[in-house]
Amino acid sequence: MPRMHLHDHSAGGRRPFRDFMKQRTLLLLSLGLAALLSGCAAPTTHRTKVDDALIEIEARKQREIAFDTMLSGRQRLTAIAHPLLKAAAPLCGEETHLSLGAVFTNKYLFAEEFRDIAVVKLGVGEPLQILQVIGGSAAQRAGLMAGDIIVSLNGQSVPTGEDALKRFADILEESLKEGAPARIRVVRGDDRLSFQATPERICSYAVMLGPGDEVNAYADGQRIVIAGGMLRFARSDNELALVVAHELAHNAMGHIKAKMQNYMLGSLLDILAAAAGVNTQGVFGNMAAQAYSQEFEAEADYVGLYIMARAGLETAGAANFWRRMAAIHPGSIGRNHAATHPATAERFLAIEKTVAEIENKKAAGLPLEPRYKADKKPGGDGP
Ligand SMILES: [Zn+2]
C-alpha cells in the first residue's frame, strides 16, 4: 500500500495536491493490476512440492558451480596473460615490477557469498597460500605448488589476516631484487620446505575477468579487463591471448594517456570558445579524444602481434579471429569490442602483413621488435 504524503510541508503551493493525485493514480493502477492478475490464466497441473532443506542443498550446489566457473575463468586468463606481460616488459617503460609468477590468496580474498565454499574446496584460511602457479614462471621452475602456505620471504615472515595480500605485496616490492633469487619458506601438508625462485620483470597491468557476459574487452591504462563472454567466444587460449595482447599494447603504447591529452587539448578550445561567449557543448574535446582512434587501433594490432610472437605464441590465426568477431557482432555500436574495434578490410590486410613481417624476422633470426618511426623508439632520443 503506497503511503500518501498529504502532510508534506517541504513543498509549497500545489505540490501536495499533485502528490496526492500521483499517489491516487498509483493506487488505482495497482488495484487494476490486482484485478488483472486474478483474472489471469493459471497453470492447470499441480505444482511439484519440494523440501526446503533440499532447496538449500541445491542452492549450495549451484553456488559451487558458479564458484568453479569463476575460478577456472580467472586462472585461465592469468595463465594466458602472464607470458604476454613478461614478453611486453621492455615496451612497458616504468610500468613494470618483479614477479614470481604465482597467485597468492587467503579466505578474505573471496567474496563473502563464496568464502565458505573456498574454505572447503581450497582449504584457505588466515595465512596466505598459493592459489595458482603460472606455467613457465619462476615459481613453477622453483618447484612451488598450488596449496603451499607461505611462511616467509627472504627471512621476513609473511602477514596473515584480512589485509595480508596488500602487506605481502609491499614485502615483495622491497624484497625482490633483479637477477637475485628469493628464498621462500612454505608449509606443504606436514612438511616445511624452502625454495629459491628468481623473479622476472613483467608489465604491471592487472588482467581481470570483468563482470557481465558481453563479448568485450578493454584497457584503461592500468588494467586489462576481459568480459566473461569473450572467454567463451575465444575458441582457444591462443585466440584469448590475441585479445589480451591487443589490449596490453593499448596500455604499453600509452594510448589511453594520449587520448586524455588530446581530449584536454580539445577542451581548451571549448573553454576559449566559452570565454568568447560561444557554447561548443564540448564538441572540440570530444573530437580531439577521437583523434587518431583508428591509428591507435592499428598500432594495438601491430604491437599486439609482436607481443604474441615474443611470448612464443602463434600469430597465424589473428586476422581470422578478428574477422569472426566482426561477423558475429556487426552493429551494436559502443557496446562490444567489434564496435570499438572497427572491422575494416584494411585492418585484416594490415594484420596479415604484420604476421608475414614477423615470420620473415623469425626466419632471418632478427630480434622481434616492432618497427618504430625514426624518432620514436622507446629509450631513444625522440620525444
Ligand atoms: Zn583496441
**What pLDDT, on the 0 to 100 scale, is given for residue 291?**
64
**What pLDDT, on the 0 to 100 scale, is given for residue 16?**
57
Grid cell in block for residue 9: 510541508
Which residue would you say has higher pLDDT here, 340 or 175? 175
CA of 218 to the centre of ligand 1 (A): 7
CA of 349 to the centre of ligand 1 (A): 16
pLDDT-above-90 percentage for the chain? 58
The rounded distance, in Å, linking the Cα atoms of 287 and 262 is: 9
Element (H, E) at 95: none
CA of 290 to the centre of ligand 1 (A): 13
Q: At what angle do helices 52-87 and 112-122 cross, to 10 degrees?
A: 80
CA of 195 to the centre of ligand 1 (A): 40
CA of 125 to the centre of ligand 1 (A): 40
CA of 342 to the centre of ligand 1 (A): 9
Which residue would you say has higher pLDDT here, 31 or 362? 362
Residues, CB within 5 angstroms of ligand 1 (ion): 297, 300, 341
Grid cell in block for residue 204: 604491471
Among 100, 99, 86, 137, residue whose Cα is nearest residue 307? 86
**pLDDT over 70 at 44, yes or no:** yes
CA of 245 to the centre of ligand 1 (A): 10
Listed ranges 39-48, 119-128, 208-217; the one with the highest mean pLDDT? 119-128
CA of 164 to the centre of ligand 1 (A): 35
Residue-range domain boundaries for the chain: 97-203, 206-364
CA of 44 to the centre of ligand 1 (A): 54
CA of 322 to the centre of ligand 1 (A): 11
Evaluate whether 78 touches 103 at the Cβ level (below 8 Å): yes
CA of 87 to the centre of ligand 1 (A): 19
Q: 223-227 and 206-210 as β-strands: parallel, antiparallel, unpaired?
A: parallel
Partner residues linked to 266 by β-bridges: none
CA of 341 to the centre of ligand 1 (A): 5
CA of 241 to the centre of ligand 1 (A): 14
CATH (residue range 97-203): 2.30.42.10
User: Helix count (H) and strand count (E) of the chain?
Assistant: 13, 11
CA of 340 to the centre of ligand 1 (A): 7
- Mean pLDDT to the nearest integer, 1-30: 54
Among 257, 240, 259, 228, residue whose Cα is nearest residue 340? 259
pLDDT class of 20 with cuts at 50, 70, 90: low
CA of 334 to the centre of ligand 1 (A): 12
Question: Cα angle vertex 242, ends 310, 76, to 5°?
Answer: 95
